[in-house]
Amino acid sequence: MNKPFIDSNIVLYLLSGDAAKADRAEEIVTAGGLMSVQVLNEVVSVCRRKLKMPWEEIEFLLLAVKTFCEIHPLTVASHDKAVEIAKHFQFSFYDAHIVASAILSGAELLLSEDMHTGMRIDGLTIQNPFS
Task: Classify residue 14 by its DSSP letter.
Answer: G
Query: What mean pLDDT comes out for the span 90-101?
Result: 96
Tally of CB atoms within 10 A around 112: 26
Query: What mean pLDDT comes out for the span 4-25?
Result: 97
> Residue 109's pLDDT is what?
98
Evaluate whether 123 touches 117 at the Cβ level (below 8 Å). no
Whether the pLDDT of residue 84 is over 90: the answer is yes
The mean of the pLDDT values for the chain is 96
Whether the pLDDT of residue 1 is over 60: the answer is no
Of all residues in the chain, the percent with pLDDT exceeding 70 is 99
Distance CA 86, CA 66 (A): 27
CATH architecture of 5-127: 3-Layer(aba) Sandwich (3.40)
Whether the pLDDT of residue 119 is over 60: the answer is yes
Q: What is the pTM of this model?
A: 0.95
